[in-house]
């Protein structure tokens, strides 16, 4: 994740990396590392990010989904999130059966 910021007269782009996982009815986002596009954070930003880093990690509750849909995996890609899921007893329609 990249976020442009301006703090105490310093403008930079903060880059955060982390892990996505699925479990217990939620998607979990854990931030592991925070830096800038240019490398390490200036001390004023490092202190700020260090104090809020844990609060940047979140759990996103998955609502009740139709057809017993279960999210199995979530991955970040350059285009957004890639979500893998399974479902049961999904009615299929629109086509004719047989020849």
CB 60, CB 26: distance < 8 Å: yes
DSSP 88: S
Mean pLDDT across the chain: 82
pLDDT at position 80 over 80: yes
| 71 or 97, higher pLDDT | 71
**Would you kindly state where each structural domain of the chain is located, as residue ranges?**
2-86
pLDDT, tens digit, 9 for 90 and up, residues 25-43: 899 999 888 777 877 666 7
């Amino acid at each position: 994740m990249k976020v442009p910021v301006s703090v105490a007269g310093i403008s930079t782009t903060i880059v955060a990396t982390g892990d996505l996982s699925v479990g217990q009815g939620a998607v979990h986002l854990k931030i592991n590392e925070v830096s800038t596009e240019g490398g390490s954070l200036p001390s004023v930003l490092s202190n700020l990010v260090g104090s809020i880093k844990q609060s940047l990690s979140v759990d996103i509750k998955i609502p009740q989904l139709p057809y017993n849909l279960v999210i199995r995996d979530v991955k970040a890609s350059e285009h957004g999130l890639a979500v893998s899921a399974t479902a049961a007893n999904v009615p299929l329609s629109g086509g004719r059966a047989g020849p």
